């Protein structure tokens, strides 16, 4: 997704800007660009290839300067062509980069055309550039403040003007933006990660903030235009670039990192203590009588799995909603709800907006399950649980998902205990199972060679069905999502009992049917569903717990999982599905870590 980097320094900052873009590359983008201020005004280089190509252009054109902005673009308005790449100029005097979407750009464009501005791109960004230019009064900070009053939508911007050679102005509303504080130099970025090489001191701007970076300081005003003091946070954890090591792709590496990520995420204590969610958690948990979980994509499947846990262990009614639906739906607020947002990045625009919507409806109790401690979601919720997956580079989420499951299981067990539904013996059992989980995961990862053998077959297919039941239905959904995201094979998931109500019509010899088969209370029902597929000549690919006694037969291909792992079984069963998607995509030769059209952190609606 789009990324912003900006800098004001007493040295040539082009390498800082390009390094920042490199650090944001993994999020997905289709063009990139950089602009610096020279005596004649801004100069720029733009590319519809990778940042390395931009780097070459910069060298060839000797682009250098001490004030600059840079961008990676993920196209929303207008194709990924050079004219639409940022920085966007206005009258060769002002340069601007933008993340997000401006909803009223058409009316603004008409107004600016009437004022004599010519549009050379199809972007909504160009209206912001011309708008700021048209209002410029010698003070870029004040002008940007005035201009954003006319914008509707979500945005983070960085802008520079020829007349202020040592100034970069930024503003945010709905998209993240952080200021990096250096010594005699200051930076701006859409993610602190972009500035990891330059500073460890950050200000996370708040909604409606406008900032001005100069050589000797940073000025910030809040949404009402008043001077604002924002906390400077020391964030050292961003470290250097993540290495691929012996793996072929980051996705493979991240699948194999799951035992470590889960070990780091499981709370240290040998009991379920609410304080892990925040100091006020015990009080908050005592005031709620239901949960509303909001999330998107893979995170929403973690939430769906959690619904089964929360209702069966903690006996607490739980509703899961896709964030992008919830935010626009008329719903009935319940002040006794705990609103939980689940997000790897903590910056997903739809989930953030859904959180705000829930708060605006009067929900005061909120909790974030998130992998990024400094993210907007963690900052905007009352309670939080941080997963410790580490940075996830592959666009398709893997270790973030399984660590979210761990976090949500801990939430279910904690609520069960507080509500009197967890005996001391059960508590000890759950803690023991959590502690043993990394070892159990290692035994599942050891199945990789068998999964590679299946993936050859899958790589020649164009469609696949995934089946699961109960607690494992969301795992089937996640398996299908992984396969479609990275191999581009159309894959659908159904609760196995639903097969005969429609999707069975799709089953032929050409349709592989992947089945998640744990040895749980629904096993006998699932076996009947398997027979329904076999009777129609379908080819079943079953991940069966060792104790299910499901074995290879005609039309029935089985990979034996370890013995059934009780309520935590979904965390084991998703791993072979991740590996199947991964190796199928490799066999098809797709760009596994950066699948087409997708971005890592979806910061636009």
Task: Give whole-number Cα distances, 198 to 23, 66, 184, 235, 254, in Å.
Answer: 12, 15, 12, 12, 27
> Shortest distance, CB of residue 602 to ligand F6R, whole angstroms?
5
| Residue 287: half-sphere exposure toward Cβ, Cα within 13 Å | 15
Contact between 602 and ligand F6R per CB under 6 A: yes
Smallest gap from residue 398 Cβ to ligand F6R (A): 8
Report the distance separating Cα 512 and Cα 253, nearest Å. Answer: 27
Which residues between 237 and 296 bind ligand F6R (CB under 6 A)? 296
Least Å from the CB of residue 378 to ligand F6R: 12
Comparison of 337 and 397: residue with beta carbon closer to ligand F6R: 397
CB 115 within 8 A of CB 62: no
Catalytic position from the list 399, 417, 594, 600: 600
Catalytic-role residue among 2, 211, 370, 586: 2
The single residue listed with the structure tokens 């903030």 is: 209
Please choose, from the candidates 136, 131, 49, the residue with its C-alpha nearest in 3D space to the C-alpha of residue 85.
49
Nearest distance, CB of residue 350 and ligand F6R, angstroms: 8
Please, which residue, 475 or 602, has the CB nearer to ligand F6R? 602
Distance between CA 9 and CA 392 in Å, rounded? 31
Window 523-562: contact mask with ligand F6R (x via CB under 6 A): ----------------------------------------
Cα(540)–Cα(307) distance, integer angstroms: 28
- 600: annotated active-site residue: yes
Which residues 37-96 are close enough to bind ligand F6R by CB under 6 A? none
Q: Which is nearer to ligand F6R, 8 or 156 (CB)?
A: 156
Tell me which residues in 154-183 interact with ligand F6R (CB under 6 A). none
Report if residue 397 touches ligand F6R, rule: CB under 6 A: yes
Q: Under a CB-based contact definition with an 8 Å cutoff, are residues 380 and 275 in contact?
A: no
Residues 494-513 that bind ligand F6R (CB under 6 A): none
Binding mask 287-326 for ligand F6R (x = CB under 6 A): ---------xxxx---------------------------
Q: How far is the CB of 347 from ligand F6R (least distance, A)?
A: 7
By beta-carbon proximity to ligand F6R, the closer residue of 19 and 350 is 350
CA distances to 278, 292, 321, 340, 359 from 332, rounded to whole Å, are 27, 11, 13, 16, 13
Residue whose CB is less far from ligand F6R, 396 or 542: 396
Report, in Å, the least distance between residue 303 CB and ligand F6R. 10
Binding mask 339-358 for ligand F6R (x = CB under 6 A): ----xxx--x--x-------
d(CA 154, CA 173): 5
x/- mask, ligand F6R, residues 189-228, rule CB under 6 A, reads ----------------------------------------
For residues 572 and 445, give the distance between their C-alpha atoms in angstroms, rounded to a whole number: 9
Give least dist CB 288 to ligand F6R, A: 23
Q: How far is the CB of 49 from ligand F6R (least distance, A)?
A: 25
Our CB check for ligand F6R shows the closer of 303 and 504 to be: 303
Q: Taking CB positions, which residue lies at the least distance from ligand F6R?
A: 297
Query: What tokens were used for 593?
Result: 């870590």
Phi, psi at residue 224, to the nearest 5°?
Answer: -95, 0
Q: Applying CB under 6 A, what is the total number of residues that bind ligand F6R?
A: 15
Show the 3-state SS of 506-561: HCCCCCEEEEEECCCCCHHHHHHHHHHHHCCCCEEEEEEEHHHCCCCECCEEEEEE
Euclidean distance between the first and the last CA atom of the chain, given in angstroms as a whole number? 11
Q: Are 309 and 433 contacting, i.e. CB atoms less than 8 angstroms apart? A: no
Do the beta carbons of residue 46 and residue 96 sit within 8 Å?
no
Q: Report which of 288, 263, 267, 287 is spatially closest to residue 276, judged by C-alpha positions.
A: 267
Q: What is the footprint of ligand F6R within residues 451-490 (CB under 6 A)? A: 481, 485
User: Does position 375 bind ligand F6R by CB under 6 A?
Assistant: no
In this complex, which beta carbon is closest to ligand F6R, that of residue 72 or of residue 299? 299
Supply the DSSP string of 328-365, one letter for each residue.
TS-----TTEEEEEEESSS--HHHHHHHHHHHHTT--E
Q: Which stretch binds ligand F6R (CB under 6 A): 7-15, 30-38, 337-345, 552-560?
A: 337-345
CB 371 within 8 A of CB 403: yes
Site residues (vs ligand F6R, CB under 6 A) = 296-299, 343-345, 348, 351, 396-397, 481, 485, 601-602
Give catalytic residues, as residue numbers.
2, 600
């Amino acid at each position: 997704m789009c990324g912003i980097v900006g800098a004001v320094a007493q040295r040539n900052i082009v390498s800082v800007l390009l390094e920042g873009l490199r650090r944001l590359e993994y999020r997905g983008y289709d063009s990139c660009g950089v602009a610096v201020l020279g005596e004649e005004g801004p100069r720029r280089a733009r590319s519809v290839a990778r940042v390395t190509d931009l780097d070459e252009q910069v060298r060839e054109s000797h682009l250098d300067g001490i004030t600059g902005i840079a961008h990676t673009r993920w196209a929303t308005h207008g194709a990924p062509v050079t004219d639409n790449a940022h920085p966007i100029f206005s009258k060769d005097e002002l340069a601007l980069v933008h993340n997000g979407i401006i909803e009223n750009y058409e009316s603004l464009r008409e107004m600016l055309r009437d004022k004599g501005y010519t549009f050379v791109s199809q972007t909504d960004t160009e209206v912001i550039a011309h708008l700021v230019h048209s209002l410029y009064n010698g003070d870029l900070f004040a002008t940007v403040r005035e201009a954003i009053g006319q914008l509707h939508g979500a945005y983070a911007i960085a802008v520079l003007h020829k007349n202020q050679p040592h100034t970069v102005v930024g503003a945010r509303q709905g998209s993240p933006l952080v200021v990096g504080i250096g010594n005699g130099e200051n930076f701006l970025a859409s993610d602190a990660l972009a500035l990891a090489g330059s500073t460890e001191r950050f200000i996370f701007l708040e909604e409606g903030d406008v900032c001005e970076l100069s050589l000797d300081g940073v000025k910030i005003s809040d949404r009402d235009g008043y001077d604002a003091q924002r906390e400077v946070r020391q964030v050292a954890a961003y470290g250097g670039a993540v290495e691929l090591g012996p793996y072929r792709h980051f996705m493979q590496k991240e699948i194999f990192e799951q035992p470590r990520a889960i070990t780091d995420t499981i709370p240290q204590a040998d009991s379920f203590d609410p304080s892990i969610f925040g100091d006020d958690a015990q009080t908050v948990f005592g005031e709620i009588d239901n949960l509303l979980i909001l999330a998107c994509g893979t995170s929403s499947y973690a939430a769906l799995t959690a619904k089964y846990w929360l209702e069966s262990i903690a006996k607490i009614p739980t509703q899961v909603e896709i964030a992008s639906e919830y935010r626009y739906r008329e719903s009935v607020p319940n002040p006794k709800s705990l609103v939980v947002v689940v997000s790897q990045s903590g910056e997903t625009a739809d989930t953030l907006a859904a959180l705000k919507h829930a708060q605006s409806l009067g929900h005061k109790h909120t909790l974030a399950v998130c992998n990024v401690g400094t993210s907007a979601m963690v900052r905007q919720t009352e309670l939080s649980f941080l997963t410790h997956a580490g940075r996830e580079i592959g666009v398709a989420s893997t270790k973030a998902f399984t660590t979210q499951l761990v976090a949500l299981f801990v939430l279910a067990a904690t609520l069960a205990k507080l509500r009197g539904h967890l005996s001391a013996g059960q508590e000890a059992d759950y803690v023991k199972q959590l502690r043993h989980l990394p070892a159990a995961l290692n035994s599942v990862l050891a199945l990789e060679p068998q999964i590679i053998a299946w993936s050859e077959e899958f790589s020649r297919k164009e469609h696949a069905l995934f089946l699961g039941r109960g607690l494992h239905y969301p795992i089937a959904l996640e398996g299908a999502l992984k396969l479609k995201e990275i191999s581009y094979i159309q894959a659908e998931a159904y609760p196995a009992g639903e097969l005969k109500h429609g999707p069975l019509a799709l089953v032929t010899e050409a349709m592989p049917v992947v089945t998640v088969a744990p040895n749980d209370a629904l096993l006998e029902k699932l076996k009947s569903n398997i027979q329904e597929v076999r009777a129609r000549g379908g080819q079943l690919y079953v991940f069966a717990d060792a104790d299910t006694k499901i074995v290879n037969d005609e039309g029935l291909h089985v990979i034996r999982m370890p013995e059934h792992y009780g309520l935590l079984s979904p965390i084991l069963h998703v791993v072979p599905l991740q590996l199947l998607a991964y190796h199928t995509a490799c066999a098809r030769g797709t760009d596994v870590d950066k699948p087409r059209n997708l971005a890592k952190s979806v910061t636009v609606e």
